[in-house]
Amino acid sequence: MKKSIIKSAKTKEKAIELALEEIGKMRDEVEVEIIEEESTGFLGLIGSKDAVVRVSYEEDIKEALSNLEREIEDTKFTANEDDQEEEPIEKEEAIAVSEVTEHEEEMESEARVEEKAEPVNYGRAKQKADIDKFYEAKDLLEKILLAMHFEDVTVIGNLEDNIIKLEAKVSEKDTGIAIGKAGSTLDAIELIIRKAIDSRRNNVRINIDINSYKKRRDEKIIDLAADTARKVQRSKKSWNLRYMNSYERRLAHEEISKYPNVSSHSEGNDPKRYVVVDYVE
């Protein structure tokens, strides 16, 4: 993803140096465009101008997502600080509050006794909070994909129990970049959104897919598990599946459990952990 920064200084060399220092790049890693040359003006005093340069560079997708995650965390930290600020009570208001008459206190006490506190519907409150988190996650996913300069971005989804499911669509030519090798970029985006909405504290789960990548992957894993289970039934010999992450292994175990005379368990250590399918008399 290409980004650029504009800097000005007394000389173009100094402006380039300031830009490289800010983005942490070497001179041979960037493209430099001189927008305006420096000018000393008349006798070096009148009409002098600073040099202006544009420095362009390729930003790594993971680095961009990492920067975005830091911005999200900083924004949340600032918002929390703002929430903690309270308006000071004016001295005159404090005195007025303390001058409530004994009669008024008795009337207020009687009124409180007569009032009936309405029961709090915690289930409804939790549902509303989950809905708010759903829309927060959906908007953030759209902003991330647009910030990555993808075309034809649309995001749809739903809230099932406490699981926020979002399905994003981008241009087919951007599918590989949006997903990354073995889904690494997709996993990074999901992690950012999970942290941004504080899913663990709010007891909600996030499941994000882009151009149905996860759906196709899940279908392949289920088909592989089913084929292997049938092979074990016929041959009565154990078979090993390929290396899988915890989510993929769970899908395989669930599918294999549907077949009689077959059982499964996991062996090995991450990232080389795999499912073993055994025959059971």
pLDDT band with cut points at 50, 70 and 90 for residue 97: very low
Residue 102 pLDDT > 60, yes or no? Answer: no
Residue 112 pLDDT > 60, yes or no? Answer: no
CA distance 156 to 133: 14
C-alpha pair distances (Å), 236 with each of 48, 56, 227, 258, 278: 87, 62, 14, 17, 8
- What's the pLDDT score for residue 84? 47
Nearest to 246 by CA among 278, 221, 211: 221
Residue 203 pLDDT > 90, yes or no? Answer: no
Residue predicted with more confidence, 276 or 62: 276
Percent of the chain predicted with pLDDT > 90:
39
The 10s digit of each residue's pLDDT in 34-63 is 888 887 654 444 456 778 888 887 766 556
User: 3-state DSSP call for residue 38?
Assistant: coil
Of 63-67, 69-73, 109-113, 128-132, the one with minimum mean pLDDT is 109-113
Residue 168 pLDDT > 50, yes or no? Answer: yes
pTM over 0.85: no
- What's the pLDDT score for residue 263? 95
Instruction: List the beta strands (DSSP E) in the chain.
Output: 2-9, 31-36, 51-58, 154-160, 163-169, 205-210, 239-243, 262-267, 274-279
Q: Counting Cβ atoms within 10 Å, is residue 25 exposed (0-12), middle (13-18) or buried (19+)?
A: middle
